[in-house]
């Protein structure tokens, strides 16, 4: 039997729920010569700010058991270049969902960037990153306070008249449900969870931190159970759809995230280990569905 992998994410129908997570797939174009991008459900583009940013000094990457740390620090060409150059170029080779990931240092910056993304034809969903752990005074300052996250959400929703707004939450909070509810109450159309966990490594020979930024965001297979738990809690507490993200590395992980309540599933650090991870997961899904007697993926969302 032909398996139905499609899911409905707000107004957008995705051919499958597999989405490379922001920051782990560039602007899509970097992989256009290597992969058939059109097999993906959607792409969440690299986090974009109002002005171009170089990001943090190197080293920006560190190894860890079952995962990795990054402190890239939102390197990006700025929202105007995204809209003028990156999106039109991507749209020539990619015909599935495009998620613009917006970051900022003030409510005003979020509002301005989201308004521009909302007016851009090539963008389907706006994902607001209030959870980047690698920028001082950046997103995470908004993502760890329910009041601040609600303020950003309201401001952004007021200017996004055409497109669904997802708020990407930080796991570095005491109560993820409180954050999620604050977003929902402020009008968010959906939530992405989770971003990376704040961590660090020390080079014990040199007696220095591995990352030039001292701390970085921990991601990879090791965080999967924590991310799954947060998706489960939030999906049961909120009515708006959730994109589950955190340590997903296989078709089985995708199904587990969906059973926990995710409508779509983002694959992050695994792309860095294996640039072919998303197409491989999508190819693997039908046989795993067959094994588990699943005909349509949308039937399993939040069934546990």
Partner 1 sequence: MKKQIYTIAENRLIAADTYKLVLAGEGQVDGEFVHIDIPGYYLRRPFSVCDTDANGLTLLYKTVGEGTRKLAALPEGTELSVLTGLGRGFDEHACRKKALLVGGGLGAAPLYPLAKRLKAQGKDVTVVLGFNREEEIVLEREFKALCNTVSLSTLDGSAGIKGFVTDAIKALQPEYDCFYTCGPMVMMKAVCQLLKGPGEASLEERMGCGAGFCYGCSIRTAGGPRRVCKDGPVFKKEDILW
Contacting positions for partner 1 (CB under 8 A)? 23-26, 30-31, 33-34, 46, 54-55, 58-68, 70, 72, 75, 220-221, 269, 271-276
Q: Using CA atoms of 242, 158, 22, 283 in order, give the dihedral in degrees to the nearest 10.
A: 50
> What tokens does 6 get?
């499609």
107 vs 272 by CB, closer to partner 1: 272
Q: Are 263 and 9 a contacting pair, CB within 8 Å? A: yes
CA proximity to 68, closest of 258, 247, 280, 297: 247
Measure the CA–CA gap between 103 and 47, rounded to whole angstroms. 6
Measure the CA–CA gap between 167 and 154, rounded to whole angstroms. 11
113 is catalytic: no
- Report, in Å, the least distance between residue 266 CB and partner 1: 15
Which of 113, 114, 120, 132 is labelled catalytic? 132
DSSP type of residue 101 = E
> What tokens does 260 get?
């926990």
- Report, in Å, the least distance between residue 75 CB and partner 1: 5
- Report, in Å, the least distance between residue 48 CB and partner 1: 12
- Report, in Å, the least distance between residue 78 CB and partner 1: 13
- Report, in Å, the least distance between residue 257 CB and partner 1: 20
Measure the CA–CA gap between 147 and 191, rounded to whole angstroms. 16
Q: Are 175 and 229 a contacting pair, CB within 8 Å? A: no
Q: How many CB atoms lie within 10 A of CB 279?
A: 17
Residue positions annotated with a catalytic role: 132
């Amino acid at each position: 039997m032909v398996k139905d992998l499609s899911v409905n994410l707000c107004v957008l129908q995705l051919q499958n729920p597999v989405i490379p997570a922001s920051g782990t797939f560039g602007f899509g174009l970097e992989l256009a010569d290597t992969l058939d991008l059109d097999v993906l459900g959607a792409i969440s583009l690299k986090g974009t700010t109002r002005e171009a940013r170089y990001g943090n000094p190197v080293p920006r990457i560190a190894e860890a058991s079952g995962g990795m740390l990054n402190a890239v620090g939102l390197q990006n060409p700025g929202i105007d270049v995204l809209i003028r150059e990156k999106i039109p170029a991507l749209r020539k080779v990619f015909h599935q969902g495009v998620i613009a990931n917006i970051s900022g240092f003030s409510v005003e910056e979020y509002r301005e960037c989201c308004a521009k993304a909302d007016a851009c034809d090539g963008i389907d969903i706006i994902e607001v990153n209030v959870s980047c752990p690698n920028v001082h005074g950046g997103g995470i300052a908004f993502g760890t306070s329910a009041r601040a996250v609600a303020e950003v959400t309201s401001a952004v929703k007021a200017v996004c008249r055409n497109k669904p707004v997802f708020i990407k939450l930080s796991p570095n909070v005491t109560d993820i449900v409180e954050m999620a509810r604050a977003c929902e109450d402020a009008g968010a159309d959906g939530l992405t969870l989770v971003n990376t966990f704040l961590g660090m490594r020390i080079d014990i020979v040199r007696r220095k931190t591995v990352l030039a930024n001292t701390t970085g965001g921990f991601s990879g297979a090791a965080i999967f159970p924590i991310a799954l738990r947060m998706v489960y809690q939030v999906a049961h507490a909120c009515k708006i759809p959730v994109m589950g993200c955190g340590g997903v590395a296989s078709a089985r992980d995708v199904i587990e995230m969906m059973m926990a309540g995710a409508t779509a599933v983002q694959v992050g650090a695994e792309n860095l280990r294996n640039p072919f991870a998303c197409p491989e997961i999508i190819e693997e899904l039908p046989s795993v569905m067959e094994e588990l007697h699943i005909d349509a993926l949308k039937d399993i969302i939040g069934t546990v």
